[in-house]
């Protein structure tokens, strides 16, 4: 019996195949095409090798460069929530359009704040994940981070237990060192607040599970809850309100913004170098 095809991977592979075919018909190298698109040659190469999920702007510029009538835009539309796990797909669209995000983590750096090496080390722990699927999952996680670089980025509040800074992720200390420096750099952005709950706070309600709340200017908030079954998107107003209250309680246990950043940098230099 032939192996079952993963529809997420097929959609990404189709985009990559069409891109490569169109580029070669036009007699362009990856760098030459990138120059026309005002993107980097590295990005073109990563999309063609299934290591980056293309965004809508990239697809639109491809249609303009090749004179295609929305072909790449339609292919990209199929990739909007891919290749995320089935449980996360409903929340992916909410995350992309939110005006504010509140996330709490007790074990890992949130996906929106992960470096490529850290993300790969985390996703590599998925049982029986194939190398190609791992590349895709890493690319999709990193592509989500584009919302923080928009002209109108969402406000992001992240409350992390101090254990996140000390748990070794990856086979080399440089993975954690780079990740913590990235956290410190990101914490300096105008739209990002990262606060650390120190060990001295003892037990707290955030240790029961990670979550994210997406807020909108003209619509009810939505929450995503990490669970043993891979996660759950919640729109029920009383449940979301309870999650927001939990987040506010956690912030009361956390160090102030500046002290949190100083702790992140201290751990990075003292423990991971």
Taking each helix axis from N to C terminus, what angle separates 116-123 and 131-144, rounded to the nearest 10 degrees?
Answer: 130
The residues with which 193 forms a beta bridge, in sequence order, are: 157
pLDDT on residue 80: 61
Q: What is the value of pTM for the model shown?
A: 0.72
Regions of the chain with pLDDT less than 70: 1-11, 50-53, 79-83, 86
| 204 shares a domain with 252 | yes
- Does residue 1 lie within any of the structural domains? no
Of 51, 77, 103, the last residue of a domain is 77
pLDDT on residue 172: 94
Q: For residue 40, give the CATH number of its domain.
A: 1.10.260.40
Burial 151-165 (b: 16+ CB within 10 A, else e): eebbebbbbbbbebb
Residue 263, classed as helix, strand or coil, is helix
pLDDT on residue 115: 96
pLDDT on residue 90: 75
Of 77, 108, 124, the last residue of a domain is 77
pLDDT on residue 203: 94
**Domain range enclosing 26:** 7-77
| 33 shares a domain with 124 | no
Edge-first strand order for the sheet with 100-105 is 192-197, 155-161, 100-105, 211-215, 222-225, 232-234
| 133 shares a domain with 248 | yes
| 240 shares a domain with 125 | yes
Taking each helix axis from N to C terminus, what angle separates 30-37 and 41-48, rounded to the nearest 10 degrees?
Answer: 120
pLDDT on residue 213: 97
**For 208-240, how does the pLDDT look when each residue is reduced to its tens digit (9 = 90+)?**
999 999 999 878 999 999 987 778 989 899 999
């Amino acid at each position: 019996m032939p192996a079952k095809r993963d529809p997420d991977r097929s959609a990404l592979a189709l985009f990559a195949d069409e891109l490569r075919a169109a580029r070669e018909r036009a007699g362009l190298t990856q760098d030459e095409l990138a120059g026309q698109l005002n993107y980097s040659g590295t990005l073109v190469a990563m999309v063609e090798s299934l290591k980056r999920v293309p965004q809508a702007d990239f697809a639109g510029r491809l249609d303009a460069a090749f004179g295609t009538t929305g072909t790449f835009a339609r292919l990209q539309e199929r990739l909007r929530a891919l290749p995320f796990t089935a449980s996360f797909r409903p929340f992916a669209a909410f995350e992309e359009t939110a005006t504010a995000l509140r996330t709490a983590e007790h074990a890992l750096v949130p996906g929106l704040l992960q470096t490529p090496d850290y993300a790969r080390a985390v996703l590599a722990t998925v049982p029986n994940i194939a190398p190609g699927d791992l590349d895709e999952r890493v690319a999709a996680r990193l592509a989500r981070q584009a919302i923080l670089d928009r002209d109108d980025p969402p406000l992001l509040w992240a409350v992390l237990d101090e254990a996140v800074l000390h748990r070794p992720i990856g086979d080399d200390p440089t993975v954690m060192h780079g990740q913590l420096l990235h956290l410190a750099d990101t914490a300096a952005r105008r739209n990002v607040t990262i606060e650390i709950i120190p060990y001295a706070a003892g037990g707290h309600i955030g240790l029961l599970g990670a979550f994210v709340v997406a807020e909108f200017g003209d619509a009810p908030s939505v929450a995503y809850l990490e669970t043993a079954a891979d996660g759950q998107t919640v729109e029920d107003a009383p449940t979301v309100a309870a999650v927001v209250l939990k987040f506010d309680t956690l912030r009361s246990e956390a160090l102030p913004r500046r002290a949190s950043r100083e702790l992140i940098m201290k751990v990075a230099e003292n423990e991971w170098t």
